[in-house]
């Protein structure tokens, strides 16, 4: 009996020291070895693009990471409804400001998402729930594909019209006049797209929800936005009269918002059967200001068209990084 009493005195300090060694300071998450290629972007630049408006160190639920689409700032993409909703609901959230408005090489932009996933997990000690629109649904998938340690850090992936396989309409635009690097990478079945989808389109342990619309004018055919292995929900299967197109679905569509909230608030992906069909009578998602909405939406389209017209065009997509060529 005396020996058995003495063992905890020796073991407990060792266990405490081991536990302390596995904690990262000043954050609260467990240390997880980084895997995948070394990030090429400077640490200070990565840190500068992750914005968490409120402390996440003591979050009581998984932290939401908003990733914007090509051409726009996250507050343009998500500021009309999503950010206001999370503020009102008290949901912890952060967002990534992708460099160059997401117009440059997505392989580099995705490193900012890798950093964001790791940093949010480290600081909060919780999993990360990703909501990404268009390219914002693709950056996280590139991160999850090539940096395997991030997979255990993600709870929900919610892709809103993600450029999962690119779009044929984008192909036509780029072949005619050239495009920004990121737009080339989102052409239908580009080298980038095929590398991203190599080895499977989903990973175990992550709940995948994809929302798509039959009226997508950029990613055509619209089914190209679906992801094999995800719960893919077509807006018109819930509300046949919903005519939201590619930009509307990620900024102010009420059905998309309802689907995302369902995924966030339940285990597993969203379930269309749980969506109250009364949402079909709503013109705007919750917290959208109907007075300022016309100007806000026009501003969003202005940002999109300005970036497409003025960002330097190239004649082909960027070459794949060495780690993605296999």
Map residue 21 onto helix, strand or coil.
helix
Return d(Cα 75, Cα 81) in angstroms, integer: 10
For residue 39, tell me if it sits in a domain: no
What's the total number of domains in the chain?
1
Q: Tens digit of pLDDT per residue, the chain (326 long)?
A: 333 333 333 333 333 333 333 334 445 555 678 999 999 999 999 999 999 999 999 999 999 999 999 999 999 999 999 999 999 999 999 999 999 999 999 999 999 999 999 999 999 999 999 999 999 999 999 999 999 999 999 999 999 999 999 999 999 889 888 999 999 999 999 999 999 999 899 999 999 999 999 999 999 999 999 999 999 999 999 999 999 999 999 999 999 999 999 999 999 999 999 999 999 999 999 999 999 999 999 999 999 999 999 999 999 999 999 999 97
For residue 137, tell me if it sits in a domain: yes
What CATH number does the domain containing 309 carry?
Answer: 3.40.50.1820
Sign of the dihedral through C-alpha 276, 282, 287, 293: positive
Joined together, the tokens standing for residue 279 give 């949402």
Return d(Cα 306, Cα 193) in angstroms, integer: 25
pLDDT of residue 22: 37
For residue 29, tell me if it sits in a domain: no
For residue 40, tell me if it sits in a domain: no
Q: Which of 111, 136, 141, 149 is nearest to 35 (CA)?
A: 149
| Residue pair 275/262 in contact by the 8 Å Cβ criterion | yes
Domain residues for 182? 49-324
Question: What's the maximum distance between 2 C-alpha atoms anywhere in the chain?
Answer: 84
Return d(Cα 202, Cα 158) in angstroms, integer: 12
For residue 313, tell me if it sits in a domain: yes
For residue 148, tell me if it sits in a domain: yes
pLDDT of residue 199: 87
| Residue pair 139/172 in contact by the 8 Å Cβ criterion | no
For residue 44, tell me if it sits in a domain: no
pLDDT of residue 19: 37
For residue 15, tell me if it sits in a domain: no
């Amino acid at each position: 009996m005396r020996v058995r009493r003495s063992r905890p005195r020796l073991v407990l300090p060792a266990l405490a020291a081991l536990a302390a060694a596995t904690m990262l300071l000043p954050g609260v998450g467990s240390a997880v070895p980084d895997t995948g290629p070394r990030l090429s972007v400077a640490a200070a630049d990565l840190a500068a693009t992750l914005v968490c408006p409120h402390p996440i160190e003591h979050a009581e639920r998984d932290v939401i990471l908003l990733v914007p689409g090509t051409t726009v700032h996250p507050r343009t993409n998500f500021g009309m409804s999503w950010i206001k909703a999370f503020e009102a609901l008290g949901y912890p959230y952060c967002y990534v400001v992708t460099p160059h408005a997401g117009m440059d090489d997505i392989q580099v932009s995705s490193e900012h998402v890798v950093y964001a996933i790791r940093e949010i997990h480290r600081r909060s000690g919780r999993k990360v729930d990703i909501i990404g629109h268009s390219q914002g649904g693709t950056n996280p998938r590139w991160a999850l594909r090539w940096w395997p340690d991030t997979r255990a850090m993600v709870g929900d992936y919610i892709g809103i019209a993600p450029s999962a396989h690119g779009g044929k309409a984008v192909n036509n635009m780029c072949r005619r006049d050239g495009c920004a690097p990121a737009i080339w990478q989102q052409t239908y079945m580009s080298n980038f797209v095929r590398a991203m989808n190599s080895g499977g389109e989903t990973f175990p342990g992550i709940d995948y929800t994809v929302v798509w619309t039959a009226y997508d004018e950029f990613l055509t055919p619209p089914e190209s936005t679906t992801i094999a292995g995800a719960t893919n929900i077509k807006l018109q299967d819930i509300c046949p009269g919903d005519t939201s197109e590619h930009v509307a679905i990620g900024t102010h569509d009420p059905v998309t918002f309802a689907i995302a909230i369902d995924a966030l608030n339940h285990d597993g992906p969203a379930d269309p059967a749980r969506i109250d069909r009364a949402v079909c009578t709503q013109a705007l998602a919750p917290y959208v200001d109907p007075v300022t909405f016309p100007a806000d939406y026009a501003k969003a389209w202005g940002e999109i068209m300005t970036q497409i017209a003025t960002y330097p065009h190239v004649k082909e997509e960027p070459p794949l990084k060495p780690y993605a060529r296999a």
